[in-house]
Amino acid sequence: MEQERERIIIPDENGDEHLFEELFTFSVDETGKSYILLLPVGEEEDDEEGVEVVAFRYEDKEDEDSDIALFPIETDEEWNMVEEMLNTFNDSEEEDDDE
């Protein structure tokens, strides 16, 4: 049975809202930073490209209306780490599908 994923609405630079599903989150103990990977809701999967995954660094908000604050990932080091985590996640998902 597939688990219901959290959904998040993110406005773009024009103020248009886009709906995403949370793929997974992870934290890095050494830096204390947390990351979230999201899938756009309603986009068709392209056979060659797959589905575009969107990633952000995030921080919990304690006294605001929303639960988290999202920040762009800016360094190659962070992107490489996120990509490695995504590859690990995809590998484990494929193993689960084989069972």
| Chain segment 41-89, per-residue pLDDT in tens | 986 655 556 778 999 999 987 766 668 889 999 999 999 999 999 999 8
pTM for this model (two decimals):
0.79
The C-alpha atoms of residue 69 and residue 11 are separated, in whole angstroms, by 13
| Chain segment 7-26, per-residue pLDDT in tens | 999 988 999 999 999 999 99
Best CA proximity match to 57, nearest among 41, 40, 79, 39: 79
Rg, the chain, Cα only = 15
